[in-house]
Every structure is written in structure tokens, then in C-alpha cells.
């Protein structure tokens, strides 16, 4: 395949960026999208041009490190992570635009790399169950109905990639937060901190400069793990109960 | 402390095989003796305590935030120590523990099927092909139950039965169901649990997190580990971090093979820099190669993806009998022209032989030219019989997600065409040498998780890596490091201390060198070349001849790398070529040591198969009288020969036997 | 935003019911209009209930618009640099429809009050009877046109607005609940559009003389 890539190049956090065009040939349809970028980078190095910086680590769709906006879609045209997207989803002659996640809460560090530590700070605000090592009762002491365990698991599948924010027209991080609130809030172990957790996480989310939710659902459609929009509603419900003191 | 002698006092009897020297034997002197079930309790009792008020004055650096690193960071933070945690990824949640699929073993015996700590201990020693320490393995089995308790309390959503009880499955050919799991994402769930515990401590101020930071040098002052030199990968700043103790929880070194199931960033640099500063590297040649991975599709391949081993329960593995059939549509190859080689060679176990045997058999048929797919490096894993017998929907409900993943990556539909699989490097049992306290031979330097060598011997059982990482992080290290910290706080070190300055300068020189060579070859091209040498000659099958060739080739590659590598850009920003250059430089040196280790170990055991040491049927032949020891290698310096220190392995409880699967 | 929106939904449905009174004849319609002013008298002065309602609606309007503009401005601050290529066309449309549609509805509201409530804008003559004002206005085709556009905009606003309100109030906590919420949103939007458009078209086509 022969493709025309338009890639966001930005020298550093405070530098101005621009879309730069790179033609590339000999792309195999069995390549992953990131392997295609690897090939481009090897060509750039051979020509003495600085390679394109992009994040990736596990390259098997679970670590959440990779994430590019491809032709305007977070993680590209398939519902998967960028590393699991393969070139057979494109055709010979295509023009492909490649941009970083864009959100003020995810500042660009260089080229296609962004800083997502705002997500970590949201977790710091309450995305955990306070259980010191060694203080745990026997695992079998707490029974968890299978349905609750399954719903908690669904929230726990979030890989923290940030595609929800990238895809949201408001750059909101509600799906990420809703997933964690649902994961922990569905389990008996998560009950003691359930309402305090949601209040402080939402406060942190807003302080980080994420946008508000207008229930458009782009986040869920872009989510490589298919986390449903209803986790946001779940979070709203818990938030209201927390604010009304109804718990 | 361990009884060791510095290299200079080693017997000066010249080089063995022209490659290494033998130094004084070593022993794990902190491990208690006596009844095996009492040893850990005894050690915890004997290890000195630190008064809660004093913990604030003690600082610990932890490098790596996988299961071992994040768990240790959280636990030490909770205890009140000042912790600094480092990871090269953008968040501690990305560490590659996250990719583990299968599960985590624990001797809970919730199924009432006769499991116990002793049975888990026994299975692990046997599975490690009698090359691990009994005391360590028993402790691992003993604390395994606490891990499950801890994780459930944190909200890890393990699979449950309808009654709300935790579910278990059997894994890796053992006869009891002791594996706890969270669908195919157990590693992710456990890591997120540890990550959240770590973030809680970050919020509490007891842990300071440094993400996108890479440790590039160990700071040693007067023979003691006192800190690290790290590079801020965003600004390029070279930072000095000093502490009372340093913990390396930096994972395995499978990426020395370039292609492995490890993450792109997994590297040996932290461990290798520590090794170069005096830490022993133990059993580097013990590598686990997993039989069911998706084969390489082309030159551009950047990593390999594991397919769950469970596929072998219903899939039949075969290759064409004749090499010329390799390019045919497999559906058109008639039954009589197919070779179901595992069923043929191992009629008792068939397609379910252990990982190392399945891997080597696949290599053998491909070496005969009967492999399938691009480059002839693949064998068929065929579900046609199962689909006919059970129906497509039954197969789909069991393996649907795996089939989808296969189709996404290969573009082939495994319901119609047999899957193609090939072995891939997956885990490294070797690592920095540690004693029972997880302390290396350098005082103040501790090593946890896959980064150390301690618990798996020559081969790791399925669902045991997660167990070890969390055991080390939550329960072992926090209880042993206190014995060292109780002697502290250690004398304050200034940033302008000559030892610190020297370490910083070493880092700076390397970076300056890489950026100034301006050669002709990219870093990746060297990494690929190294990987090919390692895979071909120090992979599934190793021979004296091949290893000697490999060592010569690696040396040549190393010289060329330092003179001819091309790293563009600058050091004051994200520079991924620069990051990789440092890692590849260390991988090249490690690769040579792996070959030396593999060459010196003239036996086959676990993941290490020497063609010269096999039974008449071509099975691995261990030589317990000669090689029942841990090979702990001391660095010989820049170009010096490595020095071998042997730690004898003594089996008081488990009898050593030869494995057989026929 | 959800609460004020739901107040409007309630009001709109009641308003629609009132409009449909025109099918019972001009007298019944006028009686209904008069009755609104007499609601809860003598506990409240004449027109008191109506004024309370107006104040509630005005407060809701201010609250609703304030929240909308706050969200809008927050979204702008949350993403200052735009994507060169945008792939989320559908929700961008919904998003714009809510925002610009909301602004359009606000302008229409002003027109609507000047037209029917204060009688400032007179389309087809000056009448004291509300029913007469209604019938005379909708005999004019472009008045029907304006109202049709406004009602369609309202329907679109409700389609997403009811769904969003349910989300915000925490009603969507399962796949089944999401389905119910979607059906409710479609139902309310369709009923509103049909209910509001019946009288003007009936008048335009002479079904109501």
C-alpha cells in the first residue's frame, strides 16, 4: 500500500505544532498501525530527520499507553486500541491524518505524546478502597453476587487510555471516572467510601480542566473496552445521593 | 549479608573456556534453617523492627511500578516510610504486569481438592526443574493466600460463582484448582489494585511518584547502594535521587530477543547498571518460551502476542508431512499428509505437554522445513475437529475472544482456517541475585518480582508470575527491608559527593556519546540484529557451537553499535531513539552474558535446553551432580571476563526427579 | 440543567394540552385561558397562580440557560486547540443542535410571548379573545411556518434533552434502563411535535374555522 500521512509535529510542550505530510510506500496490510509508524520512523532516521514521537508500550491493547486520533477518530476507525488497529482497515492511496489526544487536561509533550497524569490525580482523589496491606479478612468472608461482580468488572476493564476524553466534543473525562466509580461502588468492599469517593473524584476532574458531560455518548463509542455510557449515570446518581446526604 | 569475596581475590587460574573466571562460592546466609513451614515466621521475627516514629526519617527508592514495585511502594508508604517511586511509562498503571492473562495461584484450597501450601511449594519446585531454593518457594506458597485476601479487600473483581464465592480453575497441568482469575485480564485487575493502593499513598504524601523517569545508574557510596541517577524523559534533566535503600522492581529482560511478549519499553538497564556496579546476575540463560503465540508476519514486526494456553485443550497441532505442502491451503491437505507431531511423539500428553516441550517440538518441525505461513515459522493449531464435535457455538463461547483477537491481528478467520502459532519469549526466570531477604550482594540494594532470580528455578509454572510479584511486593520485601532500614538512617549523602558526581557523569557521557556518534544505523536495527542472534543461538535450543558463534557475533555487534549508531535529536526533550540506545547498549552486554551462562551450563533444565544434554528420545537431561547450583555472575567490568559464583542448591524436602511426558 | 429541563417538559406538555382545547371550539379555549387566571382564587389574587408559574418558568429559564452557557464555555476551555480532522460528525451535530437550537428557541420564545401573551406583535388583526388571536394568526401561512420550525427545533431539543436529563438524574444504570430512557425521550418528543402542530395546521387547512 501507498499512503499519505499527515502527522502532527510539535517540538515540545510549549512549541507550536503543525500537520506535516509524509508519503509512505510498501505498507503491508498485516502491519499494525504503530508498526507502520515504526517503518516511517526508520525511514526518517535514514534520511536524517527526527522520528515521530508517539507512546506505546504493551502493544496488545491492555496497558492504555498508546492513543492517536486517526482521521478524527480516537484510536481510528475500529473499536480497539491504536496498537491493535491494523493497516488492512485502510486502502491503498488513503490519506490518513494522525493527531494527539487534544484536551487542555492532556497537554501535548511532543508530537503525538500527551501528559495524562490528570487521570492519575483523579484516582488519587479517591479511586481506591482503603485497605492497608495485611489488614484484610479472608477473601471468602465477603460474598459478592455474581451480577455485582460482573458489573464491577465491566467498570474495572477501563485501561485509562483517555480515548473517551479525546473523542468527547467537550473533552470530558466522565466515562473514565464513571467506570472507576462503578467498579468500586458495586462491590461490598467499596461501600464505606462510596459517596465520599465520588464527590472528591468529580471535584478533582473539574479542577483538572476537563469539560462537562452533555451525554452525547462519543466516549463510549470510542472506548476500546466498550465501557457503556450508563457508568456516567451511575456516577451521577451516587453524586446526587452524596450531595443530598441520602446514604 | 552474604559471604562473598571481591573479584580480585578470586583464584587467578586463567579464563575458563576463554570466557569467564570462577570466583568463590556464595550462600544465602540469611535464610533460616529448621522445619520449612516455620522459616518465614522465624525470619520475620528475627528481622529487626523500625519504630513507627522513625520510619518517617527513612527513605526508600523503588524503581518500577508493576505488581512488585507498586505493591511494595504502597505497603512501605502505608507503614510510614518516605518512598520515591519511578516508572518509565506515563503512569504507574501501565507496567507490563497488566498484560498477564491467565490467573494467580494461591493455596487457598477453597475447592477442597487437597491443596495446601506444601503442595504448591512442591509443584513449584518440581516445575522449576529443581533449580530454585526450597526456602524461597515455600515462603511464596505460604504468603500466596494472603495475596488473595489483600486483593479482594482492595476490590479486585475476581471471577465469582453464582453463590458469590470466588471461582478457581486449574492451570498449567496441575491436578488442583488453585488459580484465581478475572476473565483473561487477571494481571490488569491485580495491577490496577496495586496501582490504586499506590495512588492512595501518593495522595497521602508518603509516596512521591516520578513517571516518565528512567533509572540510568545506581549510586553506590562506600560499597552501599544509596540512590539512583534518573533521566526525566520529558525535559531530559539528569536527576539525582538519594535514599537509605534502593529497590529494583524492574521486571524481566525478555526484550533482549527484540521480539517477545514483553512491552516495547521493558528493559534491563536498571538491573544491568546495578550489575555493572557489582550486583550479581543469576541464571541469565533461564528464559521461558511460550508455545502459543501469533507468528511473526513480516520484517516490520515489533512485538509478539500471546494466545492463551487454554487453546491447546481443544485445538490439534500439526504441520504437513512434506515440506512442499507448506504453502498449500491447509484445508486441502488430506488427513494422511498431516503430521500431528505432539500426539505422535508424546502419546500420553499429546497437545497438552508442558510449555518448553511444546515450544521445542514446534521449532524442530519448522527447522525441518515443514513450518507454515510467512517464512515457514509457524505450525497449525486446528479447531476443525472440535468445531465438528462440539459445534461452532460451543467453541465460540469458550474461545470467542481469543479467536477475535487472532482475527484482528492476522486477518484470518480461525473458524474456517486453522490458526498459525509459534513459540515466543515470554518470561525470564533469571535476574539479579538476592538472598532470602531479597537483598542483592550490594548492601541496601533490594530486588523484587521478575527482576530477581529467586523463586522459579529454571522454568516458571503458569499463574505463578503474578503470585511472585505480589508476594514480594506486599508481604516479603516490606518485612525484610526493615531489618536493613532499622540500622538507618544512613549517613546523609550530598549531591556533590564524588561518588554521586561520578555516577551522574557516567550517565551524561553515555548520552553525549549516543548523540554525537552520528553513525549510519538506527538503534532498532541493532536491537533486531541482537534479537536474531539470541533467538537463533540462545533461544529454544542451545549448542556449544552456536553459543560460541553468538558470543563472537554479539561482540562484533557491540563494537559496531558504539561506533556506528545513529541517534538524532537532542537530550532536552522526549527522545525515544536516545532512550532505546541506552537500553540496547545494555541488552547487548546482557546478551553476551546469557550466552556465556548458557554455554557454561552443560545440562538441559527447564527453559534451558542444550543439544549436548538430552536423553536418547531427545528429551532434556538434567545433570544434578554437576549443575545443581545457582550461577551468580559478577561483572568483569567494561571488557573483563565475568566471574561465576556458585550457590549450591540443597533439597531437604523435595526429591529431585527427571521429568517425563511420554 | 436536568431539573429545569424537566420543569419545561412538564410545562410544555400542559401547554400542549391547552392548545388542543382549540379543537373543542373557540369558547372552550377562551374559557380555559380565563380559567388559568382564576386558578386557585380566591386563595390567590386573580392571575396569581399564573404569575407564580411565570416566575418559576423564568427562573428555570435563567438556570437552564446559565448551565448551558457554562457547559459551553467549559467545553471551549477544555479543548482550546481543535482537531484538524473531526470524525465525530453525528454528536457534533447533536451538540450544535442543542446549543444553537437552544439559542433559537430562546429567540422564538421572545417572539412567542410578544405575539400571544402581550399581543405586541399582531399578525392578522387585533383580537381580545386568545382563541381569535390563535385562529387568525394561523390562517397566515408564514406564521404556521415559523411555528412549525420552532416546534421541530423543540422536538430535537427534547429528543436529546430528555435522554440527558435521565442520564444526569442517574436513571440509566443498565442496558435495559438506557432503552427505556431512549423510548421515553422519543415518545415525549414525538407527542410534543404532533400535539403542537395539530392546531396550526388544522387552522391553516380550515378544519378549524
Of B198, B38, B72, B70, the C-alpha closest to B472 is B72
Residues sharing a CB contact under 8 Å with residue C99, sequence separation 6 or more, in sequence order = C68, C72
Residues of chain A contacting B148 with CB distance shorter than 8 Å? 139
Looking at residue B9, its pLDDT comes to 44
Which CA distances in Å does B554 have to B530, B531, B584? 7, 10, 12
Supply the DSSP symbol for C117. I
The answer to whether C166 contacts chain A (CB < 8 Å) is yes
Closest-CA distance of chain A to residue B200, Å: 5
Residues of B taking part in catalysis: 355
Q: Which three cell numbers stand for residue A71?
A: 482521521
Question: Which segments in chain B show pLDDT lower than 50?
Answer: 1-11
Count of CA atoms in the C-beta half-sphere (13 A) of A155: 31
User: Which B residues 257-296 touch A at CB under 8 Å?
Assistant: 261, 263-265
Position B402 scores a pLDDT of: 85
Q: Which residues of C touch A5 (CB under 8 A)?
A: none
The answer to whether residues B124 and B116 touch, using CB atoms and an 8 Å cutoff, is no
Give the residue numbers spanning the domain of C125. 2-204
Q: Check whether residue A172 and residue A216 sit in a common domain.
A: yes
- A9 in C contact zone (CB under 8 Å): no
Domain count, chain C: 1
Report DSSP letters for B587-636, one per residue. HHHHHHHHHHHHHH--S-BTTB-BTTSB-TTS-B---HHHH-EEEEEEP-
Cβ of residue A115 closer than 8 Å to a chain C Cβ: no
Beta bridge partners of B230: B215, B239
- Separation of CA B293 from chain center: 17
Residues A125 and A97 in one domain: no
pLDDT at C90 over 60: yes
Interface contact A170, partner C, CB < 8 A = yes
Which CATH number covers residue A84?
A: 3.10.20.30
Parse chain B into domains and list their residue ranges. 290-426, 498-648
Provide the shortest C-alpha distance from residue C87 to chain A (in Å).
Answer: 4
Q: How far apart are CA B424 and CA B435, in angstroms?
A: 30
Q: Which of A102, A104, A214 shows the shortest C-beta gap to C83?
A: A102
Are the C-beta atoms of residues C173 and A233 closer than 8 Å to each other? yes
The reported pLDDT for the residue numbered B327 is 87
Count the neighbouring beta carbons within 10 Å of the beta carbon of residue B212: 21
Q: Taking CB atoms and an 8 Å cutoff, what residues of chain C touch A242? A: none
Contacts of C170 in chain A (CB under 8 A): 233-234, 236-238, 240
Chains in contact with A, where contact requires at least 3 CB pairs less than 8 Å apart: B, C
Is residue A59 within a helix (H) or strand (E), and if so which, with residue range?
Answer: none
Question: Scanning every residue of chain A, which has its alpha carbon at the shortest distance from the alpha carbon of C71?
Answer: A212
* Alpha carbon distance B244, B238 (integer Å): 20
* Closest alpha carbon to A197 in A213, A178, A215, A214: A178
The three-point CA angle B230-B231-B232 to 5° equals: 120
Per-residue pLDDT reduced to its tens digit, C104-146? 999 999 999 999 988 899 888 888 889 999 999 999 999 999 9
Question: Domain B498-648 carries which CATH code?
Answer: 1.20.58.100
- Within an 8 Å CB–CB cutoff, is residue C80 touching chain A? yes
What b-and-e string marks burial along A110-143, b requiring 16 or more CB atoms within 10 Å of the CB? bbbbbbbbbbbbbbbbbbbbbbbbbebeebeeee
Quote the ipTM score. 0.98
The helix, strand and coil proportions of chain A, stated in percent and rounded to the nearest 5, come to: 40, 15, 45
B71, A133: Cβ pair inside 8 Å?
Answer: yes
- Phi-psi category of residue C148: left, alpha or beta, with phi > 0 → left and psi -120 to 50 → alpha: alpha
pLDDT value of residue B170: 82
- The B residues from 302 to 361 touching A (CB cutoff 8 Å) are 302-303, 305-306
What are the angstrom distances between the C-alpha of C72 and each of B4, B310, C69? 69, 51, 5
Nearest-by-Cβ selection for A236 from C79, C168, C177: C168
Task: Answer for the pair B529, B257: CB distance below 8 angstroms, yes or no.
Answer: no
- Residue C150 within a domain: yes
Taking the CA of residue A138 and the nearest CA in chain C, the distance in Å comes to 31
A177 and A197 part of one domain = yes
Residues A83 and A171 placed together within one structural domain of the fold? no
- What are the strands, taking DSSP E only, across B154-244? 179-180, 207-210, 213-221, 224-232, 238-242
Say if C47 falls within a structural domain: yes
pLDDT of residue B66: 98
Higher pLDDT, B63 or C94: B63
Last residue of one domain, picked from the residues A110, A125, A154: A110
With beta carbons less than 8 A apart as the criterion, state whether B176 and B115 touch: yes
* CB nearest B91 (choices: A42, A116, A187): A116
Average pLDDT, stretch C25-53?
A: 90
- Nearest Cα of chain C lies from the Cα of A99 at a distance, in angstroms, of 7
Residues A146 and A203 in one domain: yes
CB B286 within 8 Å of CB B607: yes
| Range list of H helices, chain C | 2-20, 26-38, 48-78, 89-112, 130-137, 141-168, 175-204
Judge if A236 and A121 occupy the same domain.
Answer: yes
Interface-testing mutation among B92, B94, B213, with chain A (most A C-beta atoms within 10 A):
B94
CATH number, residue C30: 1.20.1300.10
Q: Which residue has the cell 485502510?
A: A90
The residue out of A59, A83, A110 marking a domain boundary is A110
Same domain, A83 and A131: no
Q: Say whether both A46 and A76 belong to one domain.
A: yes
- B neighbours by CB contacts (3+ pairs under 8 Å): A
Do A130 and A238 lie in one domain? The reply is: yes
Phi then psi for residue B381, to 5 deg, are: -120, 105
Q: Do A123 and B306 touch (CB under 8 A)?
A: no
**B305-B310-B313 Cα angle (round to 5):** 135
> Are residues A122 and A240 located together in one domain of the fold?
yes
User: Which residues of B fall within a CB distance of 8 Å from A183?
Assistant: 155, 157
Domain coverage including residue A220: 117-244
Q: Tell me if the domain spanning B290-426 has CATH number 3.90.700.10.
A: yes
All partners of chain C with 3 or more CB pairs under 8 angstroms: A
State the pLDDT at residue B136: 98
Quote the minimal CA–CA distance from A20 to chain B in Å: 17
The three cell numbers locating residue B193? 489494585
Q: Output the domain CATH number for residue A216.
A: 1.10.1060.10
> What is the number of CB-based contacts under 8 A between chain A and chain B?
222
Look at residues A64, A82, A110 and tell me which one is the last residue of a structural domain. Answer: A110
Residue A138 and residue A80 in one domain: no
Question: Do B498-648 and B290-426 have the same topology in CATH?
Answer: no
d(CA A124, CA A204): 9
Specify the pLDDT at position B12.
52
At B1 the pLDDT is 40
Low-confidence ranges of chain A (pLDDT < 50): none
Amino acid at each position: 500500500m501507498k499512503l499519505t500521512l499527515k502527522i502532527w509535529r510539535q517540538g515540545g510542550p510549549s512549541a507550536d505544532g503543525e500537520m506535516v505530510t509524509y508519503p509512505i510506500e510498501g505498507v503491508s496490510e498485516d502491519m499494525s498501525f504503530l508498526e507502520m509508524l515504526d517503518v516511517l520512523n526508520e525511514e526518517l532516521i535514514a534520511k536524517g530527520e527526527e522520528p515521530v514521537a508517539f507512546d506505546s508500550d504493551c502493544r496488545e491493547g491492555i496497558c492504555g499507553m498508546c492513543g492517536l486520533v486517526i482521521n478524527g477518530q480516537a484510536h481510528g476507525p475500529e473499536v480497539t486500541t491504536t496498537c491493535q488497529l491494523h493497516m488492512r482497515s485502510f486502502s491503498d492511496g488513503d490519506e490518513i491524518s494522525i493527531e494527539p489526544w487534544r484536551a487542555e487536561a492532556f497537554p501535548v509533550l511532543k508530537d503525538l505524546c500527551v501528559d495524562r497524569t490528570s487521570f492519575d490525580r483523579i484516582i488519587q482523589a479517591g479511586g481506591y478502597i482503603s485497605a492497608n496491606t495485611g489488614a484484610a479478612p479472608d477473601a471468602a468472608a465477603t460474598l459478592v453476587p455474581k451480577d455485582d461482580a460482573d458489573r464491577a468488572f465491566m467498570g474495572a476493564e477501563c485501561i485509562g487510555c483517555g480515548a473517551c476524553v479525546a473523542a468527547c466534543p467537550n473533552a470530558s473525562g466522565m466515562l473514565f471516572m464513571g467506570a472507576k466509580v462503578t467498579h468500586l461502588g458495586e462491590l461490598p468492599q467499596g461501600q464505606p467510601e462510596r459517596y465520599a469517593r465520588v464527590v472528591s473524584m468529580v471535584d478533582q476532574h473539574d479542577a483538572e480542566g476537563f469539560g462537562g458531560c452533555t451525554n452525547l455518548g462519543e466516549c463510549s463509542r470510542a472506548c476500546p473496552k466498550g465501557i457503556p455510557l450508563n457508568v456516567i449515570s451511575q456516577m451521577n446518581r451516587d453524586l446526587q445521593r452524596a450531595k443530598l446526604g441520602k446514604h | 549479608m552474604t559471604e562473598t569475596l571481591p573479584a580480585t581475590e578470586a583464584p587467578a587460574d586463567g579464563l575458563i573456556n576463554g570466557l569467564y573466571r570462577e570466583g568463590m562460592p556464595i550462600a544465602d546466609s540469611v535464610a533460616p534453617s529448621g522445619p520449612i513451614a516455620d522459616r518465614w515466621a522465624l525470619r520475620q521475627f528475627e528481622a529487626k523492627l523500625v519504630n513507627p516514629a522513625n520510619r518517617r526519617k527513612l527513605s526508600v527508592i523503588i524503581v518500577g511500578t508493576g505488581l512488585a514495585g507498586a505493591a511494595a511502594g504502597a505497603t512501605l508508604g502505608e507503614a510510614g516510610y518516605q518512598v520515591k517511586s519511578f516508572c518509565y511509562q506515563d503512569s504507574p498503571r501501565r507496567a507490563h504486569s497488566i498484560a498477564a492473562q491467565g490467573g494467580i495461584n494461591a493455596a487457598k484450597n477453597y475447592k477442597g481438592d487437597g491443596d495446601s501450601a506444601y503442595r504448591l511449594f512442591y509443584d513449584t519446585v518440581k516445575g522449576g526443574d529443581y533449580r530454585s531454593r526450597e526456602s524461597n518457594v515455600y515462603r511464596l506458597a505460604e504468603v500466596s493466600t494472603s495475596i488473595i485476601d489483600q486483593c479482594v479487600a482492595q476490590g479486585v473483581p475476581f471471577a465469582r460463582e453464582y453463590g458469590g464465592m470466588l471461582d478457581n480453575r486449574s492451570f498449567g497441568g496441575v491436578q488442583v484448582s488453585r488459580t484465581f482469575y478475572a476473565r483473561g485480564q487477571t494481571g490488569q485487575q491485580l495491577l490496577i489494585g496495586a496501582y490504586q493502593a499506590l495512588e492512595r499513598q501518593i495522595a497521602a504524601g508518603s509516596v512521591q511518584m516520578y513517571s516518565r523517569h528512567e533509572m540510568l545508574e545506581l549510586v553506590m557510596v562506600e560499597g552501599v547502594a544509596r540512590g539512583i541517577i534518573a533521566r526525566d524523559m520529558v525535559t531530559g534533566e539528569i536527576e539525582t535521587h538519594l535514599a537509605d535503600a534502593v529497590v529494583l522492581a524492574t521486571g524481566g529482560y525478555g526484550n533482549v530477543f527484540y521480539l517477545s511478549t514483553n512491552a516495547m519499553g521493558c528493559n534491563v538497564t536498571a538491573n544491568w547498571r546495578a550489575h555493572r556496579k557489582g550486583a550479581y546476575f543469576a541464571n541469565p540463560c533461564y528464559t521461558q518460551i511460550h508455545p502459543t503465540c501469533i507468528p511473526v508476519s513480516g520484517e516490520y514486526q515489533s512485538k509478539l502476542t500471546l494466545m492463551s494456553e487454554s487453546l491447546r485443550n481443544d485445538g490439534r497441532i500439526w504441520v504437513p508431512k512434506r515440506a512442499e505442502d507448506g504453502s498449500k491451503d491447509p484445508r486441502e491437505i488430506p488427513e494422511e499428509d498431516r503430521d500431528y507431531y505432539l500426539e505422535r511423539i508424546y502419546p500420553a500428553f499429546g497437545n497438552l505437554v508442558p510449555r518448553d516441550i511444546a515450544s521445542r517440538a514446534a521449532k524442530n518441525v519448522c527447522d525441518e522445513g515443514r513450518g507454515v505461513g510467512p517464512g515457514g515459522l509457524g505450525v497449525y493449531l486446528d479447531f476443525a475437529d472440535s468445531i465438528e464435535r462440539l459445534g461452532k457455538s460451543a467453541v465460540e463461547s469458550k474461545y470467542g475472544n481469543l479467536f477475535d483477537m487472532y482475527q484482528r491481528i492476522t486477518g484470518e478467520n480461525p473458524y474456517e482456517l486453522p490458526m498459525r502459532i509459534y513459540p515466543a519469549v515470554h518470561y525470564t526466570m533469571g535476574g539479579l541475585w538476592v538472598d532470602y531477604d531479597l537483598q542483592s550482594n550490594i548492601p541496601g540494594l533490594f530486588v523484587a518480582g521478575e527482576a530477581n532470580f529467586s523463586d522459579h528455578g529454571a522454568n516458571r509454572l503458569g499463574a505463578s508470575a503474578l503470585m511472585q510479584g505480589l508476594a514480594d511486593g506486599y508481604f516479603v520485601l516490606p518485612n525484610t527491608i526493615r531489618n536493613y532500614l532499622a540500622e538507618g538512617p544512613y549517613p546523609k549523602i550530598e549531591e556533590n559527593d564524588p561518588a554521586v558526581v561520578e555516577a551522574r557523569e557516567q550517565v551524561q557521557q553515555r548520552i553525549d556519546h549516543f548523540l554525537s556518534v552520528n553513525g549510519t544505523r538506527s538503534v532498532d536495527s541493532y536491537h533486531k540484529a541482537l534479537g536474531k542472534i539470541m533467538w537463533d543461538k540462545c533461544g529454544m535450543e542451545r549448542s556449544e557451537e552456536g553459543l560460541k558463534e553468538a558470543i563472537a557475533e554479539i561482540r562484533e555487534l557491540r563494537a559496531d553499535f558504539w561506533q556506528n549508531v545513529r541517534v538524532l535529536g537532542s537530550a532536552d526533550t522526549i527522545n525515544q531513539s536516545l532512550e532505546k540506545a541506552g537500553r540496547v547498549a545494555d541488552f547487548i552486554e546482557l546478551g553476551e552474558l546469557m550466552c556465556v551462562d548458557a554455554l557454561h551450563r552443560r545440562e538441559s533444565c527447564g527453559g534451558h535446553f542444550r543439544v549436548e544434554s538430552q536423553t536418547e528420545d531427545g528429551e532434556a537431561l538434567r545433570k544434578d551432580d554437576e549443575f545443581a547450583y545457582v550461577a551468580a555472575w559478577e561483572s568483569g567490568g567494561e571488557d573483563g571476563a565475568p566471574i561465576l559464583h556458585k550457590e549450591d542448591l540443597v533439597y531437604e524436602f523435595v526429591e529431585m526427579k527427571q521429568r517425563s511426558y511420554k | 440543567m436536568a431539573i429545569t429541563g424537566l420543569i419545561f417538559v412538564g410545562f410544555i406538555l400542559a401547554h400542549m394540552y391547552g392548545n388542543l382545547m382549540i379543537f373543542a371550539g373557540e369558547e372552550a379555549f377562551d374559557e380555559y385561558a380565563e380559567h388559568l387566571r382564576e386558578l386557585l382564587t380566591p386563595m390567590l389574587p386573580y392571575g396569581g397562580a399564573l404569575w407564580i408559574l411565570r416566575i418559576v418558568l423564568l427562573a428555570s429559564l435563567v438556570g437552564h440557560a446559565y448551565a448551558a452557557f457554562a457547559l459551553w464555555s467549559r467545553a471551549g476551555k477544555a479543548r482550546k486547540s481543535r482537531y484538524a480532522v473531526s470524525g465525530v460528525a453525528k454528536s457534533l451535530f447533536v451538540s450544535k443542535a442543542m446549543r444553537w437550537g437552544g439559542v433559537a428557541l430562546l429567540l422564538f420564545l421572545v417572539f412567542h410571548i410578544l405575539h400571544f401573551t402581550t399581543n405586541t406583535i399582531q399578525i392578522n388583526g387585533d383580537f381580545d379573545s386568545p382563541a381569535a388571536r390563535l385562529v387568525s394568526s394561523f390562517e397566515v401561512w408564514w406564521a404556521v411556518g415559523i411555528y412549525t420550525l420552532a416546534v421541530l427545533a423543540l422536538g430535537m431539543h427534547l429528543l436529546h434533552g430528555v435522554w440527558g436529563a435521565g442520564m444526569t438524574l442517574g436513571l440509566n444504570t443498565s442496558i435495559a434502563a438506557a432503552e427505556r430512557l431512549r423510548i421515553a425521550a422519543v415518545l415525549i418528543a414525538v407527542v410534543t411535535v404532533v400535539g403542537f402542530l395539530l392546531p396550526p395546521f388544522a387552522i391553516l387547512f380550515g378544519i378549524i374555522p
